[in-house]
Structure 1
Amino acid sequence: MSATAPVIRNAVRLWLEKLEAGDLVCVAVSGGADSLALAYALSLEAPKLAIQLHAVTVDHQLQSGSAAQAATVVVQMTSLGIETTVAKVSVEITEGLEASARKARYAALDSVGDTLNAVAIFLGHTRDDQAESVLLGLARGSGTRSLSGMAPHQGKYIRPLLSITREQTEKLCDELSLDDWQDPHNKDAQFARVRVRTVAIPTLEKTIGPGISEALARSADLLRHDADALDAWAEREIRHLDLADLECEHLSQLPRAIRSRIIRMAIYAAGAPSGSISAEHVASVEALIMGWSGQGPSHLPGGVKVERFSGRLSLLRN
């Protein structure tokens, strides 16, 4: 009997218990230790609650042998009694290989989930992944939302293993003789996340002391609560505002954390593409409010123009 399995199964069960009997859930499986451990736990816990389970493996077609790896995952899932869909995608490189592959992967997961009417899609991110995300956010000078890392529950996506370490998932696979796949990209130092994993965090552990990953993940959890509270405050504020015509005096009286959120919401409401607005974009609009000296408009992604007239901000899309 595996000594590691109970803690992973319990982490999964806590989320399954929030669902209803008869629900169907998907699990994303790459064949790595994290997703295999997750699929194993789900294969045991989902039937107890009369929850249907379906695996999805995404073939990004970026490496030779990717189809063979997808086929291996199908065999592994079959051994666990899980039906599997192989989703082949063509990755359009628009914002770096890693980000572009992630975008294609989530689109594929969404598509399969919608086709199957899945109520949730389980992902195998661990505490180590969370720590890496936080450290990358710090390096980019990100705000609280980015530094809060990955949410345990976001829309249909559920990440039940954020309290579980990569060492634990690897140990479980070893104990159960599950042959986990070692993705070559996870050792490729051209990717910042790989450098964080293989160089930055080990160096911090050596120079500062053990427990860095745990501490970073704990900080992410604390910051997520703060970010949620600030988001809720900003949401309450915009109920009384016309996001296309904002009064600068009112915005100037708000805390910066709230003002910046309202600015971001207003820009997106004006038509900026999702995910296109950076801190620099928000700062350029902030300057129209807090550093007004007669400067011209801010031109933002999606053709959004923000201009100040008579103490008010006008947001229009060209």
Structure 2
Amino acid sequence: MTSGPPLGPLPEGPALLEVRHAVRRWVRVHRADPAGVAVALSGGADSLALTAAAVAEAGPVHALVVDHRLQDGSGEVAEQAAERAVALGCASARVLPVTVDGPGGLEAAARRARYAALDAARAGLPVLLGHTLDDQAETVLLGLARGSGPRSLAGMRDDDPPWGRPLLSVRRAVTDRACVELGLSPYRDPHNRSPEFTRVRLRTEALPLLEQILRGGVAEALSRTSAQLREDGEVLDELAAELLAAAGAGEGLDAAVLAGAHPALRRRALRSWLLGRGARGLTDRQLRAADDLVGRWRGQGGVAVGGGAPGVRLVLSRRRGMLSVGFVSERPRQ
């Protein structure tokens, strides 16, 4: 835990004021906890500007600095970030060392470790994250490239408890200028410049090329698209919940009730129901095969839906007009 005297009043430059206004809007709309907020601070420009703005706009701020321990000297970088947080006026600052391992590559493993550490340390407070409009545009492009559907293209929500993202309307260049106004030199993570990471190449190559070809405004357009898809998705989720309630929404679903709905709505309902029963990593192919048990029923066998454990699969089956999920052994019969 780091503590110390804060700096004086914040400067009122235009960039920092834009960041403050974004945080103020988030607090007004989402009613931040009166006990304050936590902020995920990396020491980079986005999170530094967010921390300064949160101190001014969101009550007591507790900085959480994740040390991924992936580079020599990362501990010193994390401690410096914590010291800056207190100098900016945070009530406290903690460094959270994590171990990065597991499947999915370095980016995915680091993300899992980071979010788990933040969740464990937040003490019931919402955690503000420094994702900007540029991050949103990159997320939408990644979703488009993966063909993962409108839910992925909808991008990140500004409020996804316990995570808050007040800066999704703010460009990364603005947070850089805000740090200049604060007199701070942000930490520049070497991983954010490494071309081995897909998101880095989107940031440094793909998006600038699209901006050049389409004469600007691409990041903003992608962000608007994500907002529109998110609003549409909320309506469809409500309709899917109503469909599930009509079909049973318990251990089994009435296939005849589902069959009367549009396939797109039916798949959304099935996805929600399957995830609630242990399915993991549902692909479009799996979901369409699951929907075939309703819309193209011809007596086919069950569909594995990505859950289970070693030696068993989680399988969706249809019997006597009802859909149910259960575990099926992968061991061959003797």
1:309 to 303, 319, 322: 319
SS in structure 2 of the partner of residue 4 of structure 1:
helix
Equivalence map 1:98-137=2 (5 Å): 98-114=107-123, 117-118=124-125, 120-137=126-143
Provide the C-alpha distance between the structure 2 equivalents of 1:250 and 1:41, rounded to a whole number of angstroms. Answer: 51
Match of 2:47 in 1: 35
1:281 to 280, 283, 286: 286
**2:201 paired with 1:195:** yes
Match of 2:8 in 1: none
1:80 to 74, 78, 88: 88
Identity of aligned residues (%): 41
Provide the C-alpha distance between the structure 1 equivalents of 2:295 and 2:222, rounded to a whole number of angstroms. Answer: 33
Match of 2:5 in 1: none
Asked if structure 2 preserves the Cα contact closer than 8 Å seen for 1:244 and 1:266, the reply is no
Q: TM-score normalized by structure 1?
A: 0.92
Q: What displacement does 1:20 show?
A: 6.3
Match of 2:225 in 1: 219
Provide the C-alpha distance between the structure 2 equivalents of 1:10 and 1:179, rounded to a whole number of angstroms. Answer: 22
Match of 1:291 in 2: 296
Provide the C-alpha distance between the structure 2 equivalents of 1:229 and 1:292, rounded to a whole number of angstroms. Answer: 28
Q: What displacement does 1:243 show?
A: 4.2
Alignment gaps of 5+ in structure 2: 1-11, 329-334
Asked if structure 2 preserves the Cα contact closer than 8 Å seen for 1:187 and 1:194, the reply is yes
2:46 aligned partner, one-letter code: D
Asked if structure 2 preserves the Cα contact closer than 8 Å seen for 1:297 and 1:307, the reply is yes
Alignment gaps of 5+ in structure 1: none
Q: TM-score normalized by structure 2?
A: 0.88
Asked if structure 1 preserves the Cα contact closer than 8 Å seen for 2:240 and 2:268, the reply is yes
Q: What displacement does 1:271 show?
A: 2.3
Provide the C-alpha distance between the structure 2 equivalents of 1:220 and 1:185, rounded to a whole number of angstroms. Answer: 26
Provide the C-alpha distance between the structure 2 equivalents of 1:232 and 1:242, rounded to a whole number of angstroms. Answer: 14
**2:11 paired with 1:6:** no
Asked if structure 2 preserves the Cα contact closer than 8 Å seen for 1:288 and 1:308, the reply is yes
Asked if structure 2 preserves the Cα contact closer than 8 Å seen for 1:147 and 1:220, the reply is yes
Match of 2:70 in 1: 62
1:66 aligned partner, one-letter code: S
Alpha carbon RMSD of aligned pairs, Å?
Answer: 1.7
Provide the C-alpha distance between the structure 2 equivalents of 1:243 and 1:141, rounded to a whole number of angstroms. Answer: 30
2:20 aligned partner, one-letter code: R
Deviations 1:49-83 (A, max 9, x none): xx211000101111222111101101211211222
Q: What displacement does 1:272 show?
A: 2.3
Asked if structure 2 preserves the Cα contact closer than 8 Å seen for 1:267 and 1:304, the reply is no
